[in-house]
Amino acid sequence: MPLNPQVTYWAEHAWLPGANGPAVEREVLIAVGPGGRIAGVTADSGPCPPGAVRLEGLALPGQANAHSHAFHRALRGHVQVGSGTFWTWRDTMYRFAGLLDPDSYLELATAVYAEMALAGITAVGEFHYLHHAPGGVRYEDPNAMGEALIEAAARAGIRITLLDTCYLSSGFGAEPTHAQQRFSDGDAEAWAVRAEALKPREHARIGAAIHSVRAVPAEQLGTVARWAREREAPLHVHLSEQTAENDACLAAHGVTPTRLLADHGALGPRTSAVHATHLTEEDVRLLASSGTTICMCPTTERDLADGIGPARALASAGCPISLGSDSHAVIDPWEEARALELDERLRTRTRGHWTANALLRAGGEDGHASIGWPEAGRIEAGALADFTVIALDTVRTAGPPARLGAEIAVFAASAADVRHVVVGGRQVVRDGAHLLVGDVPGALAASIGALSS
Ligand SMILES: [Zn+2]
């Protein structure tokens, strides 16, 4: 990621941290220093000075998409025909998974990450389990698929945490199915050896994931948890998205999935539990007391009819909240953020569970911490210079005063209102156009069309 330490941006408005909480400030100079970090932030600086890059609109921290499976983007539309269940949706997903190789995944993921950049996302947590060739045959480089994802993020100009996922079983004690053989390393020790060969880059960090308690036998959970702990790396896990997982876990082990993870050392402040939809009160206590982050994926959870998870109860108990677009039914971090609040309103018939500021924190600071970039997600000196500028003069956002910028961004804006995106001080999106991937819709159509033909 080439850096430009000389650049200074001037934002018409910016959402900045403050002693009394975040607030929208005007005429904000953001100077980028060495390492793509913010060297200084000055509010009320007056008109844009000569030499500064003018950014009209509201600058917000770049958004972290804490849970992604890039290839699910190819399912869009296909999985909305007819009805079906989570499990029939999964059959369609496996069909697309079977079509990808490292070259085609590089093309697809580059387009998907470019779509993310256009939506205001500056870092992605890629929960990656499509490791091997069909039938489980190893590629010459056993990490060829993961490397394709890291390269795709570089081409799209965003940061990535490759959450290399251990996926060994089709259910409690069951061998992987044919489709799942691409996902399996055989056992957790072999997973660890392969994951060890992945190296971080300037734009990329490496983390671990347990696909779920369905997919990793209980006695091997500790191997993955230890690998992440020894490297101080993030550890992600799908948790209790479906009641069937809870039922099967109780039948196999006599405890809930959360309890099973806790008993094997898989919860903690560097762990993110994804979905956490169907929990007991004890599960909530275990997640909160361990400092585990909860990654909510509201647009996917509603698409798959999962249910509404107890995000408010988890947050009140002390769990940080991050957000992910998961299956990419849509890629819109503003929609994910507002859905957290609006789902809770529907469930409780009361308003005001999260402020707009709190929702921006989930996509910003807490989202970045969830995927192992704790130095991003804030527009302040010392933080990585990753920010997103929302237009305040579009048909959706025009009208309210700019001091309500956080409320406008979260409750009215969409991905289409993102005007500029800066990652590590480098502008990746300008005036709604991706500067590195010239034709993002064309890239999506070509890469997905190649799979469908
Ligand atoms: Zn997922």
CA of 67 to the centre of ligand 1 (A): 6
CA distance to 36, 53, 72, 220, 392, per residue, from 418 (Å):
21, 17, 23, 43, 10
Residue 287 CB partners (closer than 8 Å, separation 6+): 258, 267, 273, 276, 279, 294, 314, 317, 319
pLDDT on residue 1: 47
CA of 267 to the centre of ligand 1 (A): 18
Quick check: 185 pLDDT over 50?
Answer: yes
- At 4, the pLDDT band (50, 70, 90 cuts) reads low
CA of 379 to the centre of ligand 1 (A): 29
Per-residue pLDDT tens for 15-31?
999 999 999 999 999 99
Quick check: 443 pLDDT over 70?
Answer: yes
3-state helix, strand, coil in the chain (%, to 5): 40, 20, 40
Q: Can you list the alpha helix ranges (DSSP code H) found in 84-143?
A: 86-97, 102-118
pTM: 0.97
pLDDT on residue 453: 66
Instruction: Find the angle CA(283)-CA(345)-CA(121) to the nearest 5 degrees.
Output: 80
Quick check: 126 pLDDT over 80?
Answer: yes
Task: Output the six-digit token pair for 413.
Answer: 């804006």
Per-residue pLDDT tens for 310-366?
999 999 999 999 999 999 999 999 999 999 999 999 999 999 999 999 999 999 999
CA of 295 to the centre of ligand 1 (A): 10
Tell me what the mean pLDDT of segment 275-288 comes to: 98
pLDDT on residue 79: 85
Task: Output the six-digit token pair for 20.
Answer: 């009394």
Tell me what the mean pLDDT of segment 421-432 comes to: 98
Quick check: 229 pLDDT over 60?
Answer: yes
As to burial, measured by CB atoms within 10 angstroms (0-12 exposed, 13-18 middle, 19+ buried), residue 42 is middle
pLDDT on residue 90: 85
Quick check: 279 pLDDT over 80?
Answer: yes
Quick check: 232 pLDDT over 60?
Answer: yes
pLDDT on residue 203: 97
Q: Tell me how far the alpha carbon of residue 178 is from its chain's centroid.
A: 28
- At 8, the pLDDT band (50, 70, 90 cuts) reads very high
CA of 243 to the centre of ligand 1 (A): 16
CA distance to 24, 175, 407, 409, per residue, from 357 (Å):
10, 46, 8, 10
Q: Active-site residues: which are they? A: 275, 326
CA of 282 to the centre of ligand 1 (A): 23
Residue 441 CB partners (closer than 8 Å, separation 6+): none
- At 89, the pLDDT band (50, 70, 90 cuts) reads confident
Cα–Cα distance measured from residue 110 to residue 258, given in angstroms and rounded to the nearest whole number: 34
Quick check: 93 pLDDT over 90?
Answer: no
Quick check: 372 pLDDT over 90?
Answer: yes
Closest CA to 156 of 199, 200, 205, 107: 107
Residue ranges with CB less than 5 Å from ion ligand 1 = 326
pLDDT on residue 256: 98
Residue 182 CB partners (closer than 8 Å, separation 6+): 97, 98, 130, 131, 132, 133, 134, 135, 136
CA of 39 to the centre of ligand 1 (A): 36
CA of 392 to the centre of ligand 1 (A): 33
Quick check: 5 pLDDT over 80?
Answer: no
Task: Output the six-digit token pair for 69.
Answer: 């499976």
